[in-house]
C-alpha cells in the first residue's frame, strides 16, 4: 500500500485533507448513522437509555475503540496492521508475568512497553522487507501469537492471589461512574486525535498515506512515519490487552483472536479510506461505537445475534463502496 503513486501533497505542510466532492458525506455520515441508531433504540426499548446500559456500552467499546485508533493511524499512513490482536495477547501476558515480580502497576507499565516494542518491530520488519503490509503483518501476527503460546506454555497466566483485586483496577468505577477502562480509552482517543490533526507528525502521516513517493521526495522520512504508526498501534493494542486481562483477571495466548479485523472494520466504517491519506481518528472511534451499538441493540431487542456478522459485513461493504464512489466523483 505504501508505494502508491497517485497525486498527493508535495510537502508535509500541505498534507491536510482538502475539501472534496462528497467530503461531507464521508466526514459526517457516520455521525448521522450513529444518531439514527441511538434514536431508534431509544424508542424501541426501555433499557437503552438507562445509565447502566450506557456505561456498559462505552466499556464494551473501549477495547475495539483502542484497536481502531491504532488501525486508523496505520491506514492513514498507507499500511495495515494485522498484528494488533497478537500484540494485545503478548502484552497482556507480559503485564501479568512481570506484575508477579514487581507489582501490578509495574506489570502494566511493562505491558505498554512490550506493546510499543512489538509495534516498532512490526514496523521495522515491514519497512525493511519491503513486503506488502497486509502480508507482512499477517506473518508477523502468527509469530507473535506463537510467542504468546511459548511464554505461557499454553496455560492461562494469573496474577498472584494478593494482587487479584488491584489487577482488576481497570474495571473500577471512575469519573461520572464510567469505568477506568472507558476513561483511559477516551483520553487516548483525544490525545491521538490531537496528534494526527494538529501536529507535524499528523501532516506527515497524511502525506505518506496519500503518496509515499511524493512525500519521500519532499524530504519526509517515510520509513520512520510507518514505524511510528505501527508503534502507536502497538501501544493501543497493549492498553486494550490490559483492559481485557483486567476484566478476566488473567491473560492467555488466545486472547482477542480476530479483533484486528474488527478494528479495521471500525476504521473503514468510520470513513477512513483503505487507500490511505484520508480519514480521522475520531471517525474510527465513532465507527467502533457504532459496531458496539449494533451489538448492544441486538441484545436489547432479543434479535438472533447470528445475523450480527452479516450486518457488520454489510456495513463494511457499504462503507468501502461509498468511499470508492466518492473518490471517482472527486477525480
Tell me the domains of the chain and their CATH numbers: 12-330 (1.10.3470)
pTM listed for this prediction = 0.89
Distance CA 306, CA 254 (A): 22
Task: Encode pLDDT of 186-245 as tens digits.
Answer: 999 999 999 999 999 999 999 999 999 999 999 999 999 999 999 999 999 999 999 999
Residue 25: predicted pLDDT = 55
Q: What is the phi/psi pair of residue 251, to 5°?
A: -140, 145
Asked if residue 136 has pLDDT above 80, the reply is: yes
When pLDDT is averaged across residues 80-92 and rounded to a whole number, the result is 97
Asked if 205 and 198 touch (Cβ cutoff 8 Å), the reply is no
Reported confidence tier of residue 304, pLDDT bands at 50, 70, 90: confident
Residue 9: pLDDT band (50, 70, 90) is very low
So what's the pLDDT on residue 8?
Answer: 41
Give me the mean pLDDT over the 23-31 stretch.
66
Q: What is the pLDDT of residues 52-74, one digit of tens each?
A: 999 999 999 999 999 999 999 99
Band (317; pLDDT cuts 50, 70, 90): confident
Which pLDDT score is estimated for 10? Answer: 42
Asked whether residue 31 carries a pLDDT value surpassing 80, the answer given is: yes
* DSSP symbol at 14: G
pLDDT band at 325 (very low <50, low <70, confident <90, very high): confident
Query: What separation in angstroms does the CA of 5 have from each of 135, 145, 276, 304, 315?
Result: 20, 34, 12, 45, 29
pLDDT recorded at residue 327: 66
State the cell numbers at 286. Answer: 465513532
What rounded mean pLDDT belongs to the chain?
89
pLDDT value at residue 316: 80
pLDDT of residue 7: 41
Long-range contacts of 155-161 (CB under 8 A, 24+ apart): 155/252, 156/250, 156/251, 156/252, 157/93, 157/96, 157/97, 157/250, 157/251, 157/252, 158/96, 158/249, 158/250, 159/96, 159/99, 159/100, 159/104, 159/107, 159/249, 159/250, 160/100
* Whether pLDDT at 20 is above 60: no
300 vs 235 pLDDT, higher one:
235
Where is pLDDT greater, at 283 or 15? 283
- Res. 252: pLDDT tops 80: yes
Quickly state the pLDDT bin for 324 (edges 50, 70, 90).
confident
pLDDT at 5: 41
Q: Which residues contact 197 (CB under 8 A, 6 or more apart)?
A: 280, 281
Amino acid at each position: 500500500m505504501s508505494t502508491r503513486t497517485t497525486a498527493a501533497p508535495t510537502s508535509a505542510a500541505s498534507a491536510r485533507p482538502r475539501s472534496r466532492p462528497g467530503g461531507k458525506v464521508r466526514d459526517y455520515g457516520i455521525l448521522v448513522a450513529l444518531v439514527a441508531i441511538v434514536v431508534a433504540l431509544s424508542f424501541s426499548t426501555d433499557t437503552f437509555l438507562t445509565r447502566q446500559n450506557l456505561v456498559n456500552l462505552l466499556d464494551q467499546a473501549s477495547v475495539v475503540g483502542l484497536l481502531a485508533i491504532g488501525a486508523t493511524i496505520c491506514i492513514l499512513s498507507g499500511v495495515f496492521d494485522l498484528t494488533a490482536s497478537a500484540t494485545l495477547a503478548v502484552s497482556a501476558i507480559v503485564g501479568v508475568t512481570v506484575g508477579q515480580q514487581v507489582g501490578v502497576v509495574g506489570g502494566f507499565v511493562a505491558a505498554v512497553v512490550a506493546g510499543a516494542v512489538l509495534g516498532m518491530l512490526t514496523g521495522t520488519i515491514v519497512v525493511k522487507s519491503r513486503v506488502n503490509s497486509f502480508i507482512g503483518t499477517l506473518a508477523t501476527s502468527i509469530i507473535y501469537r506463537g510467542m504468546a503460546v511459548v511464554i505461557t506454555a499454553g496455560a492461562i497466566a494469573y496474577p498472584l492471589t494478593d494482587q487479584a483485586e488491584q489487577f482488576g483496577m481497570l474495571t473500577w468505577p471512575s469519573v461520572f461512574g464510567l469505568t477506568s477502562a472507558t476513561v483511559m480509552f477516551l483520553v487516548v482517543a483525544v490525545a491521538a486525535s490531537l496528534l494526527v490533526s494538529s501536529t507535524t507528525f499528523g501532516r506527515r502521516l497524511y502525506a505518506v498515506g496519500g503518496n509515499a513517493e511524493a512525500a519521500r521526495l519532499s524530504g519526509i522520512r517515510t520509513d520512520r512515519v510507518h514505524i511510528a504508526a505501527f508503534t502507536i498501534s502497538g501501544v493501543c493494542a497493549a492498553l486494550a490487552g490490559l483492559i481485557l486481562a483486567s476484566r478476566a483477571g488473567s491473560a492467555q495466548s488466545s486472547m482477542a483472536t480476530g479483533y484486528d479485523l474488527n478494528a479495521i472494520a471500525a476504521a473503514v466504517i468510520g470513513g477512513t479510506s483503505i487507500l490511505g491519506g484520508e480519514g480521522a481518528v475520531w471517525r474510527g472511534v465513532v465507527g467502533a461505537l457504532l459496531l458496539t451499538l449494533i451489538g448492544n441493540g441486538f441484545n436489547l431487542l432479543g434479535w438472533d445475534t447470528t445475523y450480527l456478522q452479516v450486518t457488520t459485513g454489510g456495513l463494511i461493504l457499504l462503507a468501502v463502496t461509498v468511499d470508492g464512489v466518492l473518490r471517482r466523483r472527486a477525480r
